[in-house]
Amino acid sequence: MTMSAKPGCACFIVPPEVLRSYARDDQLDESVRTTLRDTYAHTMAMRVTREGARQASLLLQGAMTILRAPVGATIERVFDCRHGASLPGQMVADPSHATDAAARTVYATTAKVAEFYRTILGRESVDAHGMDLVSSVHYRADFDNAFWNGQQMVYGDGDGQMFTSFYASPDVIGHELTHGVTQYESGLRYEGESGALNESISDVFGAVFHQWFRGWPASKPEGWLIGALILGPSAKRKGKSCLRDMLQPAAGHCLSPQPDSYKKFDPTADVHANSGIPNKAFALFAQSVGGHAWERAIKVWYQACTGRRLASNATFADFARLTIDAAASFGLGAKAQAAWKQVDVPFATV
């Protein structure tokens, strides 16, 4: 098995503040609140090592470029943690025919993410050189999150009330694997505006992958929901239908509502919160372009993300400039400018 030589950089789908907030909700069963507290504590413990890992990852990148073998077909592996915390767990011998639904689904959907990157964007795996895609299912007991740890994907089963199986939502798998792409390209710092861009890029590619997976046009509102298929009955009873809505980041049906304008940017907030601003810019851009988002719109964002001009400490204005430049090469520069202007990113009004 070939594993990445890069160290861990844990990026989670559920924001810590959501876990902490609902862990205090006395309308939830105590067992669910306990699981949310445990997941929050585990999530925060893993996040404290992120910055050191990110810097080490960037230092290794040049050496890894020299040492990489020629591009080859991506190999996919699935492991079962059996509700333990040791990674990667026990290998599933034939995940495509496994009796376990988690192993089968993760294997099939991860293969589709690889196909999406290869056929739509011309990229072979997250590192562009055929890196093995490793996934672990049944991580810990009722773990309320999914994450990319710098080398592989990890999925919890959810507590069954606030969250269900994290592997069940294609956009979640696309989102987390895209953190691997960002790791190998720009290494965006996981704080402030660059951290919000890191999360937004994963939402963007996760959403467009889901649209491609379903054959949905950019005009379909459901295609812009993140985590709609991982919400459990307790979340739905509260009127929640998704973690985030890229078209309506501040909407009440979001479990994690976000600012929808740069004028509302909160410098003290978690990176997941502020990602709603560039999320909305892309969704508006894709809808203005029309058709399917994977045909042209996502290629603009991909060019901006992979052109070696995106600095690790990039601001929203920096990224807006790159996407507008990329859009111009597709004849879509005015549409990109209009999208950024609608979310009040300063560059877009210049």
Cα separation, 155 vs 78, whole angstroms: 11
Cα separation, 191 vs 201, whole angstroms: 14
Which of the residues 76, 176, 193, 199 is marked catalytic?
Answer: 176
Cα separation, 296 vs 63, whole angstroms: 33
Question: Could you tell me how far CA 51 lies from the centroid of its own chain?
Answer: 18
Specify whether 176 is catalytic.
yes
Four-point Cα dihedral 189, 119, 242, 144, nearest 10: -60
Which of the residues 42, 175, 272, 292 is marked catalytic?
Answer: 272
The one-letter amino acid at 216: W
Cα separation, 216 vs 223, whole angstroms: 7
Cα separation, 307 vs 349, whole angstroms: 24
Judged by DSSP in three states, 302 sits in helix
Those residues with Cβ within 8 angstroms of residue 348's Cβ, 6 or more apart along the chain or in another chain: 320, 324, 337, 338, 339, 340, 341, 342
Those residues with Cβ within 8 angstroms of residue 74's Cβ, 6 or more apart along the chain or in another chain: 114, 124, 125, 130, 131, 132, 133
Cα separation, 122 vs 298, whole angstroms: 12
Sign of CA dihedral 153, 175, 104, 129: negative
Specify whether 272 is catalytic.
yes
Catalytic residue annotation: 176, 272
